[in-house]
Chain A
Amino acid sequence: QVQLQESGPGLVKPSQTLSLTCTVSGGSISSGLYYWNWVRQPAGKGLEWIGRIYPSGYTNYNPSLKSRLTISIDTSKNQFSLNLNSVTAADTAVYYCARTFRQYAAIDLWGQGTMVTVSS
C-alpha cells in the first residue's frame, strides 16, 4: 500500500526558506501513472494547490507562489520536495503532499499533513 509522508521543520522564521520533503513508500515515484503535488491549508481557510511535479521533473506552479517556489524530485530516494522562499506569516499552514492518478486527473492519495508555522 502506497503511503506519503511529509517531513521538515515545523517552525520557520520570516524571510527564510520553508523546505519540506515527501517520501513515497510502497510504490515508485517514477511510475508514469502518477504525478506529485503539494497542497496547503492555512488555518480557517480552504485548500490551496501549491504545485506539482512529474517524474520527468516537469513542473506546474500556482501563479501566486511561482516567484518563490521550487518543487523538485529525487527518484533515487523516492522523494519530492518543496522549497518556498521569503516566507511570511501568510505561509503558515498545514502542508500536504499528494499523488495525482493520471487516469482520474485527480488527487487520489494524500499524506497526513504537516503543520508549518512562520514566526520569529
Chain B
Amino acid sequence: QSVLTQPPSASGTPGQRVTISCSGSSTNIGSNSVKWYQYLPGTAPKLLIYSNHQRPSGVADRFSGSTSGTSASLAISGLQSEDEAEYYCAAWDDSLDGELFGGGTKLTVL
C-alpha cells in the first residue's frame, strides 16, 4: 500500500492543462526530492521530473513539477494524445529507508 497518494485517474482534452497530485508526509516529500515518471505498460518508465521541478534533457517543457510542504504536483500543459499514460510520483522515505512510488494516475486524453 503506497504511502504516496495519487488520484487513480485524471483526464483532459487536447490543449488543456491537467494537474496530478501526490500527497505524502514529512518523512518523504517533506524532506526528500520528488520524481515523476511516465509509464506505458509493457515499456520502460520515463523520467519526467527530478529534484521536485527539474526536467532531464529531452523532456518537453510542457511538463512541470512543484512541491508544497508534504505534497507534490505534476502539471502537463498543451495536452496531447501521446500524453495518455500512467504517471507515478516517487520519493525516498527516511523512516522506511526506502524508495516509495505513488499508486499511479492513469491519464486519459479525451
Contact = CB atoms under 8 A, between A and B. Distances in A.
Interface string B37-72: 101011111010011001010000000000000000
Contacts of B50: 104-106, 108
15 contacts: A37-B99, A39-B101, A46-B88, A46-B104, A47-B39, A49-B98, A96-B44, A104-B50, A104-B51, A104-B54, A105-B50, A106-B33, A106-B50, A110-B45, A111-B44
Interface of A is mostly: strand
Interface residues of B, number: 28
A112 interface: yes
Looking at B32, B98, B99, which has the most chain A CB atoms within 10 Å of its CB? Answer: B99
B35 A46 contact: no
A102 to B, nearest CB: 11
A47 B104 contact: yes
Interface in A23-69: 37, 39, 41, 46-49, 51-52, 60-63
